[in-house]
A and B are shown apart, each in its own frame.
Chain A
């Protein structure tokens, strides 16, 4: 029994000794200006339908996703011209840049729907979202910040994890959304976009 308590009490974080960071947020900012800002927003908060905000995103998540896109493991047509042969160094710098921007909801966010919000809130515990994304839903390492992301983007992404169209660095999100209904997904996306 005691070993379970130890496991419960233990905080797993940064167990891997990463090499000295060579990431350069300023260089990342310059790279982003010409390629990323027009869709993802000059301040990293997307104003475009179905385009995710990147401000305050976990750098580890951005790095892994850009690499999976570059490698064709996660093909995204709109991103293809930008990730083709994109060097690791550029990816790391872009990630450092977006991680450094203050996060927040998009300006065109719809008003909160109390019933939908409550329905989403009720799923967070049973679906164990906080285990990986943290209780504040800001993510950690390769697991993304999901609070205040654009609602329609979250809904589409959850649906793609459910259908298997989307995979991550590992298949855990695919497992996490097994059995969610469309209504569940809509509620979760609304809650995440609107949580205080």
Chain B
């Protein structure tokens, strides 16, 4: 019965597509995340784990890496660890979402780490960026600057509130959708961040949502770097070409295999990458509105359906083999809007001399249990330490893995 109704609903949607694409601007009766959801589906986001995972339960031995690489636990007992940044003295800062904390991880003389919770009770403080000795935190629309943070880890002073200066869309305007931020510092001294779309898929103000934007560190001089990028939670500036690159989450509820999450290359500020009309380079089944996808900037690479691509970094270290230099490591946190799990790994996008992606290959696997369609952890971000090793934040188990290479 469900199936019959579903087919009728789908047929109606397909027939009505052109009108539908222009109509829905009023607040929907269903939550933004559920727009397009076929009736009867029980797919839902996975439950977070917010308690401390004992070291013995951190699945470091399950990790699979190319020959010569090995993984160890860098830090653990940090529930919800996500985006990472590093201070000039080597402190690794990590943001979170649901648990609302910011962690500071320092290394002891014996190589072990010490973790402090330096802020809590924040609304999804996912975006962290170091500007000199100051840590800037994006917690939704709220922007806080913790000055001279590494000198004050034991008694963190009240942050400077930059919320008004950045003037990002409020959490209410996002209506619960894609309000969390990623942030990174460009070589031009500007902060690059995302403004996600305020729904799963809908008609929205394309100058206000689904953007990559940059600011001066004081929140002034906002510039739109890219339009039509649904929700990017990972960005990096190419170390040689200085072009902005970003990962992007595709929409939900358009099937198990469409669209693919994507990697985007921004050659010029303000380019249009096509959402909601096109995703992953092809037409949206409901929101295309008669637009040719060729008129938009094409994705630099497709990264798999619903894989939830998050943090990405160019590898700028020297520890790993030369073949990895200036290539992009990408954390794929893993799918929920798909029958068979996808992602739950770290991949590398290899670029040629002109900056075209030549291939995307697996790097860190082992967290997706294919036989049982389960997962062991969710990689949310990667970070290149100064010694050239690579950190991977495991959000579900509250642990950060460190990957080293030895010939």
Task: Point out which of A8, A63, A68, A176 has the most chain B C-beta atoms below 10 A from its C-beta.
Answer: A8
Find chain A residues with CB under 8 A from B42 CB: 10-13, 131
Q: Judge if B353 is at the interface, Cβ distance under 8 Å.
A: no
Q: Judge if A64 is at the interface, Cβ distance under 8 Å.
A: yes
Q: Which of B38, B50, B53, B374 contacts A4 (CB 8 A)?
A: B38
Find chain B residues with CB under 8 A from A170 CB: 45, 48, 98, 176
Contact B100 A19 (CB under 8 A): no
Q: Nearest Cβ in chain B — how far from A73, in angstroms? A: 4
**Nearest-CB residue, chain B, relative to A168:** B98
Contact A19 B373 (CB under 8 A): no
Find chain A residues with CB under 8 A from B323 CB: none
**Residues B159-194 near A (CB distance < 8 A):** 171-172, 175-177, 179
Contact B98 A64 (CB under 8 A): yes
Bound complex: CA of A141 vs CA of B31, how far in Å? 20
Q: Nearest Cβ in chain A — how far from B339, in angstroms? A: 5
Q: Judge if B30 is at the interface, Cβ distance under 8 Å.
A: yes
Find chain A residues with CB under 8 A from B79 CB: 67
A-contact 0/1 string along B30-45, CB 8 Å cutoff: 1111100111111111
Q: Which of B34, B48, B52 contacts A88 (CB 8 A)?
A: B52
Contact A15 B374 (CB under 8 A): yes
**Nearest-CB residue, chain A, relative to B257:** A3
Q: How many residues of A contact B (CB 8 A)?
A: 50
Bound complex: CA of A172 vs CA of B175, how far in Å? 9
Q: Judge if B375 is at the interface, Cβ distance under 8 Å.
A: yes
Q: Judge if A175 is at the interface, Cβ distance under 8 Å.
A: yes
Q: Judge if B54 is at the interface, Cβ distance under 8 Å.
A: yes
Find chain B residues with CB under 8 A from A67 CB: 50-51, 79, 99
Q: Judge if B29 is at the interface, Cβ distance under 8 Å.
A: yes
Find chain A residues with CB under 8 A from B123 CB: 73, 167
**Residues A1-39 near B (CB distance < 8 A):** 1, 3-20, 22
Bound complex: CA of A167 vs CA of B123, how far in Å? 9
Find chain A residues with CB under 8 A from B27 CB: 178-179
Q: Judge if B6 is at the interface, Cβ distance under 8 Å.
A: yes
Q: Judge if B101 is at the interface, Cβ distance under 8 Å.
A: yes
Contact B51 A174 (CB under 8 A): no
Bound complex: CA of A146 vs CA of B302, how far in Å? 41
Find chain A residues with CB under 8 A from B121 CB: 71-73, 75
Contact B44 A8 (CB under 8 A): no
Q: How many residues of B contact A (CB 8 A)?
A: 60
Q: Which of A8, A64, A164 contacts B50 (CB 8 A)?
A: A64
Bound complex: CA of A73 vs CA of B10, how far in Å? 39
B contact patch SS: loop
Contact A175 B41 (CB under 8 A): no
**Nearest-CB residue, chain B, relative to A61:** B47
Q: Nearest Cβ in chain B — how far from A10, in angstroms? A: 5
Task: Point out which of B30, B41, B177, B179 has the most chain A C-beta atoms below 10 A from its C-beta.
Answer: B41
Q: Judge if B369 is at the interface, Cβ distance under 8 Å.
A: yes
Contact B375 A15 (CB under 8 A): yes
Q: Judge if B255 is at the interface, Cβ distance under 8 Å.
A: yes
B-contact 0/1 string along A165-196, CB 8 Å cutoff: 00101111011101100000000000000000
Find chain A residues with CB under 8 A from B376 CB: 17
Q: Nearest Cβ in chain B — how far from A88, in angstroms? A: 4
Contact B43 A12 (CB under 8 A): yes
Q: Judge if B240 is at the interface, Cβ distance under 8 Å.
A: no
Task: Point out which of A67, A171, A176 has the most chain B C-beta atoms below 10 A from its C-beta.
Answer: A171
Bound complex: CA of A75 vs CA of B121, how far in Å? 9
Q: Which of B39, B101, B176, B373 contacts A172 (CB 8 A)?
A: B176
Q: Nearest Cβ in chain A — how far from B330, in angstroms? A: 22
Binding site for A on B (CB under 8 A): 2-3, 6-7, 10, 27-34, 37-54, 57, 79, 98-101, 120-123, 171-172, 175-177, 179, 255-257, 336, 339, 341, 369, 372-376, 396
New contact pairs (13) apart from A8-B2, A175-B32, CB-CB < 8 Å: A7-B38, A17-B374, A18-B49, A67-B50, A71-B121, A72-B121, A73-B100, A73-B121, A128-B34, A169-B48, A169-B50, A178-B27, A179-B29
**Nearest 7 interchain pairs by C-beta:** A175-B31, A171-B176, A72-B121, A19-B57, A3-B255, A8-B40, A141-B47
Binding site for B on A (CB under 8 A): 1, 3-20, 22, 60, 63-64, 67-68, 71-73, 75, 88, 91-92, 126, 128, 131-132, 141-143, 164, 167, 169-172, 174-176, 178-179
